[in-house]
Amino acid sequence: MQAFYTRLDQFLVTTGLEGSTSGLGCSEAEVAAQEQAYGVQFPLAYRLFLKWCGRATLQSLAQDFRLAFLDYYWDSARELLTENQATLEPGGFVFSEWQGYNFWYFLLGCANPMVKLCLIKSDLEPGLEYHEYGRFTDWLINQLKTMVQLRYSLGRLDVQVPAVWAELDQIAQLAD
């Protein structure tokens, strides 16, 4: 799985989708400290993600997944769940949130876990919705594809979207 992150990093930097990622990753000690604090062992895919970019927000993702913000993500998720009289499913681990109305989590227990999104149904309808996004590495590739398409449509990116997507699909296979 290390080959997945190595190739993804090379591709994002080479194509200009990302600046240098040098120094953006967490150390083994930082990751281990958070595992100890939460009493869990992070899945391999997430550990490698944190070692790749766990100290910064990648411009190609446009959302924060920093290790240092885990407590904030969890607090936001707990608040959302409490407001909706819900609980996180067993084995769920929150790794990001967005503006207090949704959060991303994965299920502990395998190297490349299923990622899910929990979000408020609407301002008019109470309750939460849950969406599955596949394995962690698949979720990451799909997030990148979404941002490439969005930036291209806004005229902020001059790339051949189908070619970028095709290369991202090739990179995704390295996680198998």
Query: Is the full-model pTM beyond 0.75?
Result: yes
pLDDT value at residue 40: 97
Residues 81 and 89 sit within 8 Å (Cβ to Cβ): no
Residue 139's φ and ψ, nearest 5 degrees, are: -60, -45
Q: Which residues of the chain register pLDDT less than 50?
A: none
- pLDDT 10s digits, 53-74: 998 878 788 788 899 999 999 9
d(CA 121, CA 134): 21
Q: What domains can you pick out in the chain, each with its CATH number?
A: 2-137 (3.40.1580.10)
pLDDT value at residue 57: 78
